[in-house]
Amino acid sequence: MGMTFAEKIFAKKTGRAAARAGEIVSVRPDVVMTLDADAEIIIRFEELGLPRVWDPARIVCALDHYGPASTRRSADLHRRMRLFAEAQGIERFFEVGEGLTHQIMLERGYALPGMFIVGTDSHTPSYGCVGALSCGVGASDMLSIWATGELWFQVPRSARIVLDGALPPGVFAKDVILEVIRSFTASGCTYMSAEFTGSALADMPMAERFVLCNLSTEMGVKSTWVEVDETTRAFADRHGGAYGIVAPDPDADYAALKRFDVSALAPMLACPHRVDNVHPVAAMAGAPVHQAFLGTCASGRFEDLAVAAKILGGRHAAPGVRLLIAPASRAVLRRAMEAGHAQALIDAGGVFLPPGCGPCAGIHEGLLGQGERCVSTANRNFRGRMGNPDSEIYLGSAATVAASALTGVITDPRPYLA
C-alpha cells in the first residue's frame, strides 16, 4: 500500500523507507515560526538557563498580533523579544508593520515544497499551499525545539478533498473552503492531513490556495497539502531556494474522501458563532452591517484588495459602515498603492490599519460594540472573537465584504463583478 503526503514526508524527514498514520516519530523541522504572542517561550528559555537556541537561522519571528503595542505589557513583551533576537542572532526577525508571519513566510520564500515547518500559531497549516507540511504546536513544544532542534509527532491520518469543475465568476477559494468546512464540520478532520486536489485548482493562484489551507484549521486539521503543479513550481522557482516535491502515492489509504463540484457553488458565509455554520450569502442578504473588515492571515493579500477596489472603486461605503483594511504585509500595501487599489479604497471611506492581524483576534483595533454585526474576511467568528460577546461576526470573501460595505447590508457580490 502506498503512502499519503503526510506519511511520505514524515518518512523522508526521519530517514525511513515508510511511515504510517499513528506512528510516533521525532523530527527536526526545516523552519520554525514564532510571533509576538510567544514571549512566554523566551521567559522560560531564560529561566532554564539555556545559553543558545539550536539554530537561529531556522527561526522566523514577526511582531504581528499586538503591533503597534497598545498596552505597557505588550510594549514590554516586544522589547524583550527584540533584545532576545539580537542576542541570539535571529536575523529573520520582523518588526511591527512588516506583516503577518504567515504572509512573510511565503513572501520571503521561507516556506517551500517538501519542507517540514512548525509554528506556534494555530493557522500554521497554511503552508500546505506550497506543498510543505506545516503544523501548529504549543509554547512548551516550541521551547523544546529551540533547545534541542527536534520534537516528537504522531503521523496523522489523511483526508482527500477533490475539487472538481471551475469557479464561477464572483466565487472564490473562501467560498469553496467554507463549503468544505460545512460538509466536514468543525471537528471532521481532527488531527488529519487534508489533501486538496482536482481540476478547480488550475484556476487558483497561490493566494487562493493559501485560503484553502488556512481555513482548514477550522475543521481540525494537523496539516494540509495542495497538489503540486506549475503554479507551485513557479512560486518555488521565483524564490530560488532548494526544494523537493513530495506527493502522495496513487494507492494511499485515506480516512476520508470527499468530492465537491465548485462550478455549482455560490458565495458563502460562515454565520455566528461557528465557522461550520455555513449558508449561501443570498440566504442572509439584507441583514444590516456595522463594520466590514478586510484583512487577516486568511485574506488581506493584493488579490483581496484588488477585488474590493473593483467593487468599491468610484463608490463609497454606506453610511454607518466602518470599512477597515489591514494589509497582510508592507509589500502588499506598497503593491496596492502602486496599482491604485489603496487610493480607491481610501476614497470609498476605507481606513487602513497597520499590516498585521488587526481586529481579528479582538486584541486591539476595530473591536465591535454591543449588538453590532461585522462581515469579515477573517477565519474565526466565535462569540466574543472581536472583543464583544454581544456582537456577531460573519465570514466571507473579500468580494462579499466589499459588496456588503457598499450597500450597508449583507450582499451577494456577483452583480458588482459582472
Q: Quickly state the pLDDT bin for 38 (edges 50, 70, 90).
A: confident
pLDDT, position 66: 82
pTM of the model: 0.96
Question: Are 290 and 252 found together in one domain?
Answer: no
pLDDT, position 76: 92
Is the model's pLDDT at 109 over the cut of 90?
yes
Is the model's pLDDT at 303 over the cut of 80?
yes
pLDDT, position 217: 97
pLDDT, position 289: 98
The more confidently predicted of residues 318 and 35 is 318
Is the model's pLDDT at 385 over the cut of 90?
no
Question: Are 234 and 283 found together in one domain?
Answer: no
pLDDT, position 1: 83
Question: Are 211 and 329 found together in one domain?
Answer: no
**Structure-block grid coordinates of residue 16:** 525511513
Alpha helix (H) residue ranges in 202-243: 206-216, 230-239
pLDDT, position 37: 77
Report the C-alpha gap between 130 and 233 in whole angstroms.
9
Question: Are 287 and 214 found together in one domain?
Answer: no
Question: Are 313 and 291 found together in one domain?
Answer: yes
Is the model's pLDDT at 138 over the cut of 80?
yes
**Structure-block grid coordinates of residue 412:** 451577494
322 phi/psi in degrees, rounded to 5:
-90, 120
What percentage of the chain has pLDDT greater than the value 70? 100
Question: Are 331 and 367 found together in one domain?
Answer: yes
Is the model's pLDDT at 70 over the cut of 90?
no
Question: Are 254 and 370 found together in one domain?
Answer: no
Mean pLDDT of the 167-188 span? 97
Which residues 6+ apart lie within 8 Å of 74 measured at CB? 36, 66
Is the model's pLDDT at 366 over the cut of 90?
no
The continuous run of DSSP H or E covering 385 comes out as none
The more confidently predicted of residues 356 and 396 is 396
117 phi/psi in degrees, rounded to 5:
-125, 140
Do residues 372 and 401 lie in contact, with contact meaning Cβ atoms separated by under 8 Å?
no
Cα–Cα distances in angstroms (integers) from residue 197 to residues 142, 163, 194, 381, in the given order: 31, 6, 10, 27
pLDDT, position 240: 82
pLDDT, position 363: 79
| CATH at residue 206 | 3.30.499.10
Domain around 408: 269-416
Question: Are 177 and 37 found together in one domain?
Answer: yes
DSSP symbols for 394-407: EE--HHHHHHHHHH
pLDDT, position 318: 98
What letter does residue 288 receive in the DSSP assignment?
B
Mean pLDDT of the 262-267 span? 97
Is the model's pLDDT at 362 over the cut of 80?
no
Q: Quickly state the pLDDT bin for 259 (edges 50, 70, 90).
A: very high
Mapped onto helix, strand or coil, the DSSP state of residue 23 is coil
DSSP symbols for 53-76: -S-GGGEEEE--SS-S--SHHHHH
pLDDT, position 386: 80
Question: Are 277 and 250 found together in one domain?
Answer: no
Question: Are 168 and 295 found together in one domain?
Answer: no
Mean pLDDT of the 191-220 span? 97
Mean pLDDT of the 256-284 span? 97
Q: Where among 260, 281, 312 does a domain terminate?
A: 260
Mean pLDDT of the 133-161 span? 97
Going by C-alpha positions, the residue among 246, 358, 278 that lies closest to residue 5 is: 246
Angle at which helix 206-216 crosses helix 173-184, to 10 degrees, equals: 20
Is the model's pLDDT at 269 over the cut of 90?
yes
| Torsional class of 315: left (φ above 0), alpha (ψ -120 to 50), beta (otherwise) | beta
Do residues 231 and 200 lie in contact, with contact meaning Cβ atoms separated by under 8 Å?
no
Question: Are 250 and 273 found together in one domain?
Answer: no
Which residues 6+ apart lie within 8 Å of 47 measured at CB? none
Q: Convert 33-70 to b/e letters by CB count within 10 Å (16 or more is b).
A: bbbbbbbebbebbeeeeeeebbebebbbbbbbbbbebe
Is the model's pLDDT at 58 over the cut of 90?
yes
Question: Are 239 and 311 found together in one domain?
Answer: no
Q: In this structure, is the dihedral angle defined by the CA atoms of residues 113, 30, 160 and 200, taken in order, positive or negative?
A: negative
Q: Where among 235, 260, 285 does a domain terminate?
A: 260
Is the model's pLDDT at 393 over the cut of 90?
yes
- When the pLDDT of each residue in the chain is averaged and rounded to a whole number, the result is 95
Going by C-alpha positions, the residue among 258, 253, 187 that lies closest to residue 219 is: 187
Domain count for the chain: 2
Q: Are strands 151-154 and 24-27 parallel, antiparallel or unpaired?
A: antiparallel
Q: Where among 260, 285, 315 does a domain terminate?
A: 260
